[in-house]
Structure 1
Amino acid sequence: MDLSIGLILIQDGVTNAAIYALLALALVLVFTVTRVIFVPVGEFVSFGALTLAAFEAGKVPGTVSLLVVLGIAGAIGRLWTERANLSARMLGGIALETVVVPALIAALVTWLAPHKPPQIVQVLLALLVVAPMGVYLYESVFRPIAEASVLVLLIVAVALHLALVGLALIFFGAEGSRTTALSEASFTLGQLFITGQSLAVLGVTLVLILALYVFFDRTLIGKALRATAVNRVGARLVGISPAFSGRIAFALAGIIGALGGILVSPLTTIYYDTGFIIGLKGFVAAIIGGLVSYPLAAGAAILVGVIESFASFWASELKEVIVFMIIVPILLVRSYGTQVLEDEE
């Protein structure tokens, strides 16, 4: 392996790491706020990518119907959890958020999709269809069992992942899809060939990370999320609703997951179950960060991406094994330095 090949592998690793970093941030965000290990984040990657591919083909994707169904399920879940405090104003707000908005999105997509609008419009439509599913899944699945143990929440998350994978197979079939690159530009820098899509992935990732930093550090809602992540009971005592924080966390996770799928789909063929593997690599980065540290998770994502890239060159058939083996020594080191408490979750 010479210098040029090494540079190419590093470029590929860093580009993939940007996607893993986004998913790791989403996983850390959801876990710290709600204690849910959001296994289905990978399905948002697949849904985002394949929904965009359907728009490029001039078709209305099955995720539009799923959005409407999840909206109705979210309405039922929210009515159940807030049944003791319902009012006419609250009923109107729930109906608007969970029934009217999905119906309007479905109508807009059904009208625009056959006309094959410009790429930026297709990207926005894909985000508009997929991102709200995070909130509706929280309202219908996780919020009613918010006080359950971490193990129960994990089991429910795994069951939800399996259900969404099956729905993805029904909606998109077993054949994979690859979308048009966001940028067709390319240039050389010494011995390194750089594509516009790689720069687009890195640029969008950096902008999103910066936006999240500003959101958490400068906005009232962001500070409320941080407070909930640090101490749920204390946040509730000062008037911060854990349910509201959970909705925001799942909304951000939905946006990040869908955007990750849109960014990665021009680089590799996406199948109905591809998002799970991508999400697992983001989970590896989140585990290295202890599921609590955003900077560590982002840095670990770079490590995961570079190791995967070099492993694919030296031992392509074992690259997945090598990547997932990274967490074994990390967990061993953490286990020796952690004091075990009785009944600790």
Structure 2
Amino acid sequence: MDSTIIFILLQDGILNGAVYALLGLALVMVFLVTRVVFIPQGEFVSYGALTLAFMVNGKIPGTVYLLVIVGIVVFLAELISALRHKEWSKMPKTVAWTLVLPLALYFVAPMVVSTTTPLWLNVLFSLVLVIPLGPMVYRLVYQPIAEASIMVLLIVSVAVHFVLTGLGLVFFGAEGWRTPPFMEGEVQFGAVTWSAQTFFVLGTCAALIIVLWLFFGKTLYGRALRATAVNRRGARLMGISTNLSGSLTFTLAAAIGALSGMLISPVTTIYYDTGFLIGLKGFVAAIVGGMASYPLAAVGALFVGILEAFSSFWASAYKEVIVFTLIIPVLMLRSFGTTHSSDEE
């Protein structure tokens, strides 16, 4: 192995690691706020990439129909809850985001979807289609069992993963897709020529991490999420709605997942079930961070990406095994320094 090959593998590792870092941050965020190990995070990666791929090729994505169906189900759930508790004040807002928004996107989609539509507009419209699925999944699945144990929430996450994977097959089909790169060209960097797409992905990931840092540190909603992550009961006593915190957290997780899928789709063929493996590698990064530290999760993600790249060169058949085996020593090291504690009250 010469220096040229090392730099090429390093480029691939950093590119993948940046995407895993975003997913790892999303997983840590969801776990801290809701105690949910969000295994279906990878499905939002697939949904975002496939939605963009369909639009780029002039086809109406299945997300348009999926959003309408899920929106109707969420509306019915909220309607039943309002009838049961005789509380109607939230229904106008519910109608707006579960019925009006999906139907508006349904009727606007034929006017936007075209092979001549600019890529940036396709990206924005794809995000608008995928992101609402995050809070809808939270309302349907996780909000009713928000006080359940972590183990129950984990089992439910596994079930949600299989459901979303099946829906992905139904609404997107089994065919693999790629999207055009966001930036064309190459950049000479040292002894290796790096693609402009790599720098675009790195820049986007860095910008998104900075935006998240500003959101959590400088905004009222961000501070509310931090308070909920520190102490759910204390946050409730201070008037912070844990349901709102959970919904907002899943919205951010869906946005990060969808954008991550769009960033990686120009270099990786995306299928309806591809997001599962990508999400698991983000989960490995989150485990390195102890499901509690954002910086450690980001560092772990870069390490996972570089390890995967070099493993694909030395032992391509076992690269997945090598990456996922990394969890074992990390968990062992963490178990030596922690004591058993029960779930939060």
Is the alpha carbon distance of 1:210 and 1:344 closer, same or farther for their aligned partners in structure 2, counting shifts above 3 Å?
closer
In structure 1, how many angstroms separate the alpha carbons of the residues matched to 2:133 and 2:159?
A: 16
Q: What is residue 234 of structure 2 aligned with on the other side?
A: 234
Q: What is residue 145 of structure 2 aligned with on the other side?
A: 145
Q: How far apart are 1:172 and its partner, in Å?
A: 2.0
Tell whether the 8 Å contact from 1:77 to 1:144 is kept in structure 2 after alignment.
Answer: no
SS at match of 2:90: helix
Q: What is residue 175 of structure 2 aligned with on the other side?
A: 175
SS at match of 1:33: helix
SS at match of 2:113: helix
Q: Note the residue ranges of structure 2 that are not aligned, 5 or more in a row.
A: none
How many residue pairs get matched? 344
Q: How far apart are 1:108 and its partner, in Å?
A: 1.4
Q: What is residue 21 of structure 2 aligned with on the other side?
A: 21
Tell whether the 8 Å contact from 2:55 to 2:115 is kept in structure 1 after alignment.
Answer: no
Alignment of 1:151-170 (within 5 A): 151-170=151-170
In structure 1, how many angstroms separate the alpha carbons of the residues matched to 2:252 and 2:11?
A: 27
Q: What is residue 335 of structure 2 aligned with on the other side?
A: 335
Alignment of 1:26-41 (within 5 A): 26-41=26-41
Q: What is residue 252 of structure 2 aligned with on the other side?
A: 252
TM-score (norm 2): 0.96
Is the alpha carbon distance of 1:319 and 1:28 closer, same or farther for their aligned partners in structure 2, counting shifts above 3 Å?
same
Q: What is residue 202 of structure 2 aligned with on the other side?
A: 202
State the one-letter code of the partner of 2:25: L
Spell out, residue by residue over 1:144-164, the C-alpha distance to the aligned partner (whole angstroms, 9 max, x if none): 111111111111111111011
Tell whether the 8 Å contact from 1:47 to 1:168 is kept in structure 2 after alignment.
Answer: yes
SS at match of 1:21: helix
1:86 counterpart = 2:87:
yes
Q: What is residue 43 of structure 2 aligned with on the other side?
A: 43
Superposed CA RMSD:
1.5
Q: What is residue 72 of structure 2 aligned with on the other side?
A: 72
1:63 counterpart = 2:63:
yes
User: Which stretch has the larger CA shift, 154-163 or 203-212?
Assistant: 154-163
Tell whether the 8 Å contact from 1:75 to 1:139 is kept in structure 2 after alignment.
Answer: no
In structure 2, how many angstroms separate the alpha carbons of the residues matched to 1:81 and 1:310?
A: 52
Is the alpha carbon distance of 1:243 and 1:99 closer, same or farther for their aligned partners in structure 2, counting shifts above 3 Å?
same
Tell whether the 8 Å contact from 2:150 to 2:343 is kept in structure 1 after alignment.
Answer: no
Sequence identity, in percent?
A: 53
Q: How far apart are 1:81 and its partner, in Å?
A: 4.9
Q: How far apart are 1:323 and its partner, in Å?
A: 0.3
SS at match of 1:187: strand
In structure 2, how many angstroms separate the alpha carbons of the residues matched to 1:10 and 1:253?
A: 27
Spell out, residue by residue over 1:199-231, the C-alpha distance to the aligned partner (whole angstroms, 9 max, x if none): 111011000000000000001110000000000
In structure 1, how many angstroms separate the alpha carbons of the residues matched to 2:81 and 2:149?
A: 18
SS at match of 2:194: strand
Is the alpha carbon distance of 1:268 and 1:117 closer, same or farther for their aligned partners in structure 2, counting shifts above 3 Å?
same
Q: What is residue 129 of structure 1 aligned with on the other side?
A: 129
